[in-house]
Amino acid sequence: MVTKRIIPCLDVKNGRVVKGVNFEGLKDMADPVEMARYYNTAGADELVFYDITASVEGRTLFTDILRKVASEIFIPLTVGGGINTLEDFDRVLKCGADKVSVNSGAIKNPAIISAAAQRYGNQCVVLSADIKRVDGSFRLFAKGGRENTGIDALDWLEQGVRSGAGELVVNSIDTDGVKNGFDLELLDAVAQRCAVPIIASGGAGCREDFLELFRNHPAVDAGLAASIFHTKQVDIRELKQYLRQNGIEMRL
């Protein structure tokens, strides 16, 4: 059977990996190519790169990094950040990305999802959403989690899947950076409405959080995290061995 996936996420700004807590207070961590090599040997099932650079120079630097990573690391690469048009899809796919993650770009222009799915296939289009509870319901946030769109997040994701998104990254703002576990209530709610693979993001603090996620929420396919892997607070190989010992199918 298909394994659950463990996915480290690298937020890249000006050629360096950074990761914030609750999306603020970025702290320089390391060189993205070095980190990608490390994660490849450590047993990561996939890598996600988010380009959080705003400048043109930063963007060029990012595509150079991506090309370097893709030319020596042969596991699936997902790339997001600043994806607004089909040209943006094209740019990162040509540098070796396998999947492209859209977030704010799809909020500004929802038609990008179906256009990209038609051109590159559903499997290539990952819809990523930053979600927070507002007055007891799940709301979709834009601009890296800073702006409430007022859109119901579950409706948004369901519509995204109908338009051709082949995978979802569900990022809970409420649990992000808190390291107290994934947002299981949110993930269950998404799984009820969407039949494509779901990648849980935000809140993992220890290996038990991943076990709880996969053991009791089988509709979730993958767990994504950043700083706990970057700081080696959780070692990926040890995590995967632990999960397998506890009956979760893992690639070792």
Is the CB of residue 111 less than 8 Å from the CB of residue 90?
no
Rounded Cα distance between 173 and 209, Å, is 17
- For position 49 contacting other proteins by CB under 8 A, the verdict is no
By CB under 8 A, residue 88 contacts other proteins = no
Cα 221 off chain centre by: 12
Nearer of residues 35 and 124 to other proteins, judged by Cβ: 124
Asked if residues 128 and 171 have their Cβ atoms less than 8 Å apart, the reply is yes
Q: Measure CA of the first residue to CA of the last residue in the chain; give whole Å.
A: 14
- Residue 221 engages other proteins in binding (rule: CB under 8 A): yes
Identity (one letter) of the amino acid at 208?
E
Select the span of 121-129, 145-153, 207-215, 239-247 touching other proteins (CB under 8 A). 121-129
Site for other proteins in 150-209 (CB under 8 A): 166-167, 195-197
Confirm whether 174 is a catalytic residue. Answer: no
Question: Of the listed 45, 130, 183, 209, which one is catalytic?
Answer: 130
Find the binding residues for other proteins in span 50-79 (CB under 8 A): 67, 70-72, 74-76
Interface with other proteins (CB under 8 A), residue from 40, 85, 149, 241: 40
- Report the half-sphere exposure of 215 (CA within 13 A, side-chain side): 12
Binders of other proteins: how many residues, by CB under 8 A? 32
124 lies in the site for other proteins, by CB under 8 A? yes
Q: Give the nearest distance from C-beta 134 to other proteins in angstroms.
A: 29
14 sits near other proteins (criterion: CB under 8 A): no
By CB under 8 A, residue 241 contacts other proteins? no
Q: Is 176 a catalytic residue?
A: no
CA-derived radius of gyration, the chain: 17
Given the residues 11, 51, 88, 221, select the one marked as catalytic: 11
User: Distance between CA 226 and CA 52 in Å, rounded?
Assistant: 14
Give the residue ranges of DSSP H helices in 96-167: 104-108, 111-120, 153-163
Question: Which residues contribute to the site for other proteins (CB under 8 A)?
Answer: 1-3, 5, 40, 45, 67, 70-72, 74-76, 93-98, 120-124, 166-167, 195-197, 221-222, 251
Active site residues: 11, 130
